[in-house]
Structure 1
Amino acid sequence: MTGLVLDNLLVTSGDTTWVALHTTVARGEVLTIMGPSGTGKSTLLAAIIGTLAPAFRMTGKVLLDGVDVTDRPTRARRIGLLFQDDVLFPHLSVGGNLAFALPASIRGRRARRDRIATALVQAGLAGFADRDPATLSGGQRARVALMRTLLAEPRALLLDEPFSRLDADLRAQIRSFVLTRARDEGLPVILVTHDAEDARAAAGRILSPLGKELPKKPQGVEGNATLAR
């Protein structure tokens, strides 16, 4: 089966169950995992990429395109992760940041340069290869971070609240760019968020970390300050 499969994935610590999911995210699908802080969203992502802390116990399997990757090291899983912070390398140019992610299979200076140039055009940042990341706007940095993630040729993409620190107008623009690019790449995507607008914009299924299906317009979430970030 193609896509990302969470096969009876259960994550616990002590008497607390943080994650209980049995679902498939198809290629080109965006699954939203929604809930306030401290409810297992980041724990789920750690389970998928293989970075769970020793305090947690995990059972079940993670499969990508029919291959069991549960016991593979993080790097070997080829799962992209986009964080809340863009985490660009300050000592590298924009082009250097993108080059860092290129697979070893892309050999030769010209081939690598062409791949970077294409990525910048796709991000609306043509000619930015030599720019210092510190000179970029928040939206430009977010686009560079996404293209760097995609250049690594992941087989799935995890989004860890990557829009939460952007202002409202920029948030909508970057969210649309990220989700459109991910769908165009045909990636199975899991978006973790506490924000109802992010969930609605993803236009897909919405689940809690415990597998409960949530409505497309959660009651009492919009404008609710009690939901922690």
Structure 2
Amino acid sequence: MLKLEDALIAQGDFQMRADFTLEAGRKYAVIGPSGAGKSTLLAALCGFVPLAAGRMYWGDRDITEASPDARPMTMLFQDNNLFPHLSVLQNVGLGLRPDLRLNETEREQVERALGRVDLAQFADVKPGQLSGGQQSRVALARVLVQARPLVLLDEPFAALGPALRNEMLDLVQDTIAQTRAALVMVTHAPEDVRRIADEVIFVEGGRAHAPRPAAALMDDPPPELRAYLG
């Protein structure tokens, strides 16, 4: 369980408040207008943006000041963040050891993660030799190999076509179900919300609103959400 308590997230002139709890094993979609602070919210959860006020807890542990690598979460970015000079196996291995000195057990973990995303045969290939969808799978494998209880996705499949994006969303759902991690996903696509989310965090007007059940919210949105959805 992750709890934001009277949190203030600030960057320059931008400010956003958040006060909510994320439950283990649930899938959350983060939606809202461009510039509302969706990606900034994820960056604050990960520790890349420090809280200007308030506290963050993981269970009973205060992680407000914890470094990103000391938090129980991992993040998949929009650009996949792959290193072109490293092989697929090495890119995934970075999720376990930044120095890439993998022992036998760790290498087996990486190979299992590649198997989960159907890329075992591409272990020695460089990312530039892969399609966009395959690169997304590599980035997802790096997230999976870390086996953190909270997975954050910042629109990682936005550049993919609808069919491939849906394929990746299904793969995310399958792998999250296996690991029982909680999922927080930024998206601009209402169809993604209906496809994957249990609850919705609506971000607008300087606030990240507390999660609400996705189906009910999308079927009968409040005026501000209805205006965003068009």
Q: TM-score, normalised by structure 2?
A: 0.83
Match of 2:19 among 22, 33, 45: 22
Identity %, equivalent residues: 36
Size of the aligned set, in residue pairs, is 216
**In the alignment, which residue of structure 1 is the partner of 2:36?**
39
Q: Does 1:100 align with 2:94?
A: yes
SS in 2 for 1:37: coil
**In the alignment, which residue of structure 2 is the partner of 1:123?**
117
Q: Which letter maps to 1:147?
A: A
Runs of 4+ in 1 over 3 A off after TM superposition: 12-17, 106-109, 217-222
**In the alignment, which residue of structure 1 is the partner of 2:6?**
8
Task: Quote how far apart the aligned CAs of 1:79 are.
Answer: 1.9
Q: Which letter maps to 1:24?
A: T
The structure with the greater share of residues assigned to helix is: 2
Task: Quote how far apart the aligned CAs of 1:130 are.
Answer: 0.8
Correspondence list, 1:187-202, <5 A = 187-202=181-196
**In the alignment, which residue of structure 2 is the partner of 1:63?**
57
Task: Quote how far apart the aligned CAs of 1:168 are.
Answer: 0.6
Q: What's the C-alpha RMSD, in Å, of the aligned pairs?
A: 2.5
Counterpart CA distance in 1 for 2:12 and 2:141 is 39
Counterpart CA distance in 2 for 1:128 and 1:14 is 43
Q: Which letter maps to 2:28?
A: L
- Is the contact between residue 28 and residue 184 of structure 1 (CA under 8 Å) also seen in structure 2? no
Counterpart CA distance in 1 for 2:173 and 2:120 is 20
SS in 2 for 1:208: strand
CA distance 1:71–1:109, shift in 2 (3 Å): closer
Point out where structure 2 has 5 or more consecutive residues left out of the alignment. Answer: none
SS in 2 for 1:91: coil
Point out where structure 1 has 5 or more consecutive residues left out of the alignment. Answer: 225-229
Q: TM-score, normalised by structure 1?
A: 0.83
Counterpart CA distance in 2 for 1:28 and 1:88 is 27
